[in-house]
A and B are shown apart, each in its own frame.
Chain A
Amino acid sequence: MRFLPYVLKHLRRNWIRTGSTVVGMAVCIFLFCTLQTLLAAINYSLQSASASRLWTRNSVSLVFPLPLSYKPRVASVAGVRRVATASWFGGVYQDPKNFFANFAVDVEPYLLMYPEYVIPDEQRQAFIADRRGALVGRGLADKYGWKVGDTIQLESTIPPYRIGRPFDFVVRAIYDADLTRNPGVDLNQFFFHFEYLDEATGRRVGAGTFVVEIDDPAQAAEISTAIDAAFENSTAQTLTETEGAFVAGFISLAGNLSLLLNAIGLAVTFTILLVTANTMSMAVRERRTEIGVLKTLGFPSRLVLWLVLAESLVIALLGGGLGLLLGWGGIHLLTGLPMLGPALAGYPSLGLTPSVALGGMGIALLLGALAGVVPAMLAFRANITEALRTV
């Protein structure tokens, strides 16, 4: 501890360089925390996926709908228990930033497929009975202060669903979930009748997807193949996959999001390692004479090594701390991101978890140690007479 003031004074010597390295380190740790939280949230949302539910969509892209006429044909495939249309509505409430997951669904079969949504009976019946009725998650209701009976309006951002005015809905039911038994259930979704959408748009829209409940989850692969085979020669071919695979694909859209995010994190971390190592090398190069003086005064080489390493670790600690602070604040902004936001909204207490924070600080310290080890070794090995000759 007696050497700490000495270490800190050296860091203040070139405060611009130290500051920029600390900020670089902070950005790295911020990215790590944010990306890890993002991945954890995505994985959490996948936990709610049921093995007995399949999703059928247009094989080209989710953007293209499927003909509604496919529904009975899907239902007729052996092993299929029931089918429900589910179309992503892309509606916003009052302002584009109020963006959450909202689906037009075949209400009755859909609710039977999702027993994890806990809805009071009278509300369930009221929702089923009212074509303009809406079922909203508890999180969403709390966020916007909606109560059963409230009338609200959503306006879609998807062209086929834009009818020149917002859609009117009446909140008929609010669903909860037992998150202990069913982790990952998203309480920030909004459901309404597909028939309402179909009618309001002049019966010109198709189905975004079909949710398919099957009798035996072990038969999921065979049934998926059978469904897709049924439309193999149609103009709109289908792609059927398990709910888990569908949700993962929906969230990532651009492929393997996990790999992408980890690759970005790794690239940034490596860059910061080089930046910090360069900073420390410069700091040691500039102080060759000083290192010679310290050794002349009797500072053992090992102590000189630790002093240099300590400087690097202090930079790492400061950067890591700042990064965690940024991450703590920044993670809450994730829910505002398009596509990802709704998926993350269901993640319980979205924030910096202790494990991610510890991981972030661990990475910062590891970076500090790695960046400092070469300059520290140079200082360790520095020959006194040669170092003193440097003016």
Chain B
Amino acid sequence: MTVPELPSPEGPGHEEDRAGGNRAVVAGPAALPPAPGRSLAERAANGVPAVDVRGVRKIYTRDSQQIVVLDGIDLLVPRGEFLALMGPSGSGKTTLLNLIAGIDRPTSGAVFVAGTEVSALSEGALAAWRSRHVGFIFQFYNLIPVLTALENVELPLLLTRLSKRQRRARAMIALEVVGLADRHKHYPRQLSGGQEQRVAIARAIVTDPDVLVADEPTGDLDAKSAEDILGLIATLNEHFEKTIVMVTHDPRAANRAHTEMHLEKGVLAREVSRR
């Protein structure tokens, strides 16, 4: 498949943020059992990791009861990694994903993404950081129904200083990447589930983020569409070298990832590496 190149957006401070810091990489999760290939920690040790989760705990309080969702998570994800987070419902997969994506904060511990300690950013700085560094793919696509495919993809670019023409051009390239350029005028209701998810992926990559996070991206799709979407995500990882962290229940989806991490009751229980 011929994949168009995705130019970098011209938001202020974008390149500086991308450079990241030079923090030492901490060792990987010591409690994990040995993996068949090289572990994430070993691979991440060669440079600044895409994601560095350090001793993260997340506790929710419900009706004066404290629920420990994540209990001392340490995780290193090297750049260009395709990681699948698996585990039973309530194991804390989505919570961990949200922490990495900067849409939630840990109760204790720290989360670094591309060298930035996202868990320490203010609310406003975190929003700006998300718009530049993270792309989101949701289970239910979450497209805005009143906007066309092109307008949906263009949405994150409204936060940049790009002109309307530049925004449209970039959004069209992103739609070309996902193979839906010819449907750019269609509204979400006029698209199939698989096509909607492709538009959502285009929206996720249009800002050329460092990390793509996907929460059950195939959970609402039939087998054929799911396979197509997984192929597209794999292409983004291989061709565009995007770091991907994907939460899934589906073993077939997890098989496309380089590494599987299994969470159980808020702790990382097992790592399976295919490299």
Contacts and interface: CB of A to CB of B under 8 A. Distances in A.
Contacts of A285: none
Interface of A is mostly: helix
Contact of B156 (A2, A3, A297, A301): A297
Given A13-B146, A289-B142, A385 B103 contact: yes
Contacts of B127: 295, 298-301
Interface stretch (A4-12, A86-94, A164-172, A239-247): A4-12
A6 B103 contact: no
A6 B131 contact: no
Interface stretch (B12-20, B23-31, B132-140, B236-244): B132-140
Interface residues of A, number: 24
Nearest to A295: B127
Contacts of B158: 2-3, 6
A298 B145 contact: no
A296 B103 contact: yes
A384 interface: yes
B130 A296 contact: yes
B117 interface: no
B159 interface: yes
B144 interface: yes
B123 interface: yes
B155 interface: yes
Nearest to B126: A298
B156 A298 contact: yes
Contact of A296 (B128, B136, B145, B151): B136
B56 to A, nearest CB: 15
Contacts of A5: 151
B18 to A, nearest CB: 15
Contact of B132 (A2, A295, A298, A391): A298
A5 B127 CA distance: 22
Contact of A297 (B104, B123, B151, B155): B155
B124 interface: yes
A322 interface: no
A189 B70 CA distance: 87
Contacts of B131: 297-299
B136 A9 contact: no
B146 A12 contact: yes
A9 B146 contact: yes
Interface in A10-49: 10, 12-13
A384 B147 contact: no
A293 interface: yes
A298 B104 contact: no
A2 B142 contact: no
Interface in A365-391: 384-385, 388, 391
Given A12-B146, A290-B142, A299-B131, 7 more contacts: A2-B164, A3-B158, A296-B130, A300-B128, A301-B123, A301-B127, A388-B138
24 contacts: A2-B158, A3-B158, A5-B151, A6-B147, A6-B151, A9-B151, A13-B145, A289-B142, A295-B127, A296-B101, A296-B130, A296-B136, A297-B130, A297-B131, A297-B203, A298-B130, A298-B159, A300-B128, A301-B123, A301-B124, A302-B124, A384-B98, A384-B103, A385-B98
